[in-house]
Amino acid sequence: MIFLDFLFQLRDQGLPVGAGEWLTFLSALRKGLIHDSEGIYRVGRSILCRSERDYDAFDLAFGQAFEGLVLPEEMREQLMQWLSGAEAFAEGGPAPKEYSSIEELIQDFLERLRNQKERHDGGNTWIGTGGTSAFGHGGRAPTGIRVGGPGGGGRAMRVAGERRWQNYRSDVSLDIRQIQAALRALRSLTKEGPLELDIDETVAATARQAGDIELVETRAKQNQLRVVLLMDAGGSMAPHAERVNRLFSAMKAMKTFKSLDVWYFHNCPYGHLFKDYQEYIRVPTQDVLAQLTLKHRLIFVGDASMAPPELFAAWGWSGSDVPSGLDWLRRFRTACPGSIWLNPDPVRWWNHPTVSAIGQLFPMFELTVEGLEQGVRALRRARTV
Amino acid sequence: MSMKHFSGTASYIADEELLASVNAAVVLQRPLLVKGEPGTGKTLLAHAVAESLGRPLLAWHVKSTTKAVDGLYHYDVVQRLNDSRFGDNDISDIRNYIRLGILGQAFAADEPTVVLIDEVDKADLEFPNDLLRELDEMAFHIPELDETVAAKHRPVVIITSNAEKELPDPFLRRCVFHYVGFPDRKRMTEIVQVHHPRLGNDILDAALDRFYAIRKTTGLRKPPSTSELVDWLSVLIAAGLDPQQIREGDPFMGVLLKQRGDLDAALSRRVNPHKFV
């Protein structure tokens, strides 16, 4: 039962261990890859973890499941004495017992460990050298536990207890790969790339000329979409920083768009957009708007939640005749119908005057993988190229 | 067990956790996925495994444009077209124009091999998924010949990733996974001594102090790795600096930090900067 317990500990710690991995782990036990608790730790981790982010959870589960299995030091020493000099007892004796399940084997092992009092060589029951007992070393039992050899005992427990991988842990749900998979649908392929040889056409043209080679070239397909990411960097966005960063780094790493521009604003775009918030590098919003074409797609990221005057009132420092935040947003929407708004707040919080006003202007989606997929579909429907 | 086991080589120092993962992959006949920062010796591992098992190594270096089929075979239709005009070869046999890729060569080989698929994360998002069947079954079909290439001996497959892109789940499920952590000071000392056997302890200590301090600087885009440390030590030795100068100056920081911003970040955090000229 010990290993089943381990499985449930792993799952409790949030490791997605499926039947496939578990069977692989059991077959590693059967194939003799694992001789001791260090082996369970090392081999188990290499099979049951898919990322270094899983290592910490694995350490915790390992500690929980095997805490009782570590032999006290003096017991270990005695065990090693029983096992020294294993060469002499190679042949003969009754047929070894075969175990059908690992759990049964381990149970039996612990049982015997409690009852055994002395050294055994060549027997069929006790933990010893040679012989056909399932326990010990130098024996001939088809299934069993090897005791002794390098390593062994408490080291794996100690290693697991150190929790060396704690910093690699990540419980964030918005996975970079999922983001990229969702964004891949965002493309408009046209034959405007570099020239490449069109093999089918070349063969056909060559055949028409009775074998005199005629090279036909064509333009490679290229994604024509230019993406503009506009992100709210205001204080209320701080709790969402991790998720927004993931979206940002996922998009930056993609390299499949014709271009990707990133701008920052505070609450809402006004007269200026920031290229770099820390360095205070800013550009008039008008200039950004002027460069938008039908091949651009806008993705706003923000909670859209602010004091109503911040959206509806005319702000600025050049007199009264300045556009409000909503006016600026309307200009973006007009310049670029292929635009969406991703909101890191859950939908149930969207019942707010500024959120609903912006939600009427832009199709608004939650900043989750599902929301992103819906958003990409909305962008694809906005057939503007 | 008749299987030969991997135990490291003279020039490659593997820790026991890595050994366990490699041997698990060999025995379970699963691909081994090795992930870790650049410069932690992932690619060297494949060379060491091949050497230790006494098998030839076939390396497939993945680029952003690499497609899964490139590793299986390539039908050189352009060459065939050319030959059809100039008649250099027997164009009636399509076999003359089919070339096996790295995986194809490993499957067709008469002896067991080690295959390295290097930097799998450089390729397209779907690249690993496109190889799932071939790696599971160790066989693939060539439609042009209507033939199946099946592995005579299952190769040991080692796949490296710098974690530039996340890999797909079905792929991860099939691999034995190992993350190469950044070497701690003790292991780093061993590694450095392989490269600079006659280096004095005082210089090494001073350099390692600086090196690990710089790695701790927050917000570095590219923290210096093992290979940068080894290069840096070469420069320090060539310049004949003493430990004091290494500790208190900032000698040849450009060897460790290759980005302007990183360099500024690391140097501005010095409490008492005596600039090295």
User: What pLDDT does A301 receive?
Assistant: 93
Q: Lowest-pLDDT range, A33-37, A188-192, B244-248?
A: A188-192
Query: Among residues B224, B226, B221, which one has the least CA distance to residue B195?
Result: B226
| DSSP labels, A129-158 | ESSS-SEEES---SS-EE--SSS-TTHHHH
Residue B44 CA to residue B124 CA, distance in Å, equals: 24
| DSSP labels, A212-251 | -----EEEPPEE--EEEEEEE-SGGGGGGHHHHHHHHHHH
Residue B129, chain A, CB below 8 Å: the answer is no
What does the block give as tokens for A136? 């010990």
Q: Are A218 and A198 in contact (CB under 8 A)?
A: yes
User: What pLDDT does B57 receive?
Assistant: 96
The answer, yes or no, to whether residue A242 has pLDDT greater than 90, is no
CB atoms within 10 A of CB A305: 21
The answer, yes or no, to whether residue A177 has pLDDT greater than 90, is no
- Classify A121 as helix, strand or coil: strand
pLDDT in tens, A56-82: 889 888 888 877 554 545 555 555 555
pLDDT in tens, A141-172: 444 444 444 333 455 666 666 666 666 654 44
Residue with tokens 């570099």: A194
The answer, yes or no, to whether residue A1 has pLDDT greater than 70, is no
Residue A157 CA to residue A69 CA, distance in Å, equals: 9
Residue B171, chain A, CB below 8 Å: the answer is no
Q: Apex CA A15: angle with CA A13 and CA A21, to 5°?
A: 135
Residue B181, chain A, CB below 8 Å: the answer is yes
Question: Which amino acid, one-letter code, is at A278?
Answer: Q
User: What pLDDT does A209 receive?
Assistant: 86
User: What pLDDT does B32 receive?
Assistant: 96
User: What pLDDT does B243 receive?
Assistant: 87
Residue A246 CA to residue A175 CA, distance in Å, equals: 8
Q: Which residues contact B116 (CB under 8 A, 6 or more apart)?
A: B43, B46, B47, B57, B58, B59, B60, B158, B159, B160
Residue B103 CA to residue A186 CA, distance in Å, equals: 33
Q: Are A372 and A179 in contact (CB under 8 A)?
A: yes
Query: Among residues A245, A370, A254, which one has the least CA distance to residue B165?
Result: A254
> pLDDT tier at A319 (50, 70, 90 boundaries)?
low
> pLDDT tier at A307 (50, 70, 90 boundaries)?
confident
Q: Look at the alpha carbons of A72, A75, A79, A81 in this order and tell me if their dihedral is positive or negative.
A: positive
| Own/partner long-range contacts of A263-266 (Cβ < 8 Å, ≥24 apart) | A263/A228, A263/A229, A263/A230, A263/A231, A263/A288, A264/A230, A264/A231, A264/A232, A264/A233, A265/A230, A265/A231, A265/A232, A265/A233, A265/A302, A266/A232, A266/A233, A266/A234
Question: When comparing pLDDT for A130 and B245, which is higher?
Answer: B245
Average pLDDT over residues A259-283: 84
**pTM recorded for the entire structure:** 0.67
Q: Look at the alpha carbons of A68, A72, A78, A84 in this order and tell me if their dihedral is positive or negative.
A: positive
Q: Lowest-pLDDT range, A231-235, A295-299, A346-350, B29-33?
A: A231-235
The answer, yes or no, to whether residue A376 has pLDDT greater than 70, is yes
Contact B173 A21 (CB under 8 A): yes
Taking the alpha carbons at both ends of chain A, their separation in whole angstroms is 62
The answer, yes or no, to whether residue A289 has pLDDT greater than 60, is yes
Q: Lowest-pLDDT range, A105-109, B108-112, B207-211?
A: A105-109
Contact B78 A199 (CB under 8 A): yes
- For A22, which residue in chain B has the nearest alpha carbon? B173
Residue B21, chain A, CB below 8 Å: the answer is yes
Q: What is the dihedral of CA A106, A109, A113, A114, to 10 degrees?
A: 70
Interface residue of A21, A23, A46 to substitute, partner B, most B CBs within 10 Å: A46
Residue B24, chain A, CB below 8 Å: the answer is yes
pLDDT in tens, B67-122: 999 999 999 988 888 888 887 778 888 888 999 999 999 999 999 999 999 999 88
In order of A69, A109, A113, the CA distances from A118 in angstroms are 21, 15, 11
Contact B25 A180 (CB under 8 A): no
Average pLDDT over residues A104-131: 56
Q: Report the mean per-residue pLDDT for chain A.
A: 76
The answer, yes or no, to whether residue A327 has pLDDT greater than 50, is yes
The answer, yes or no, to whether residue A384 has pLDDT greater than 60, is no
Average pLDDT over residues A348-360: 90
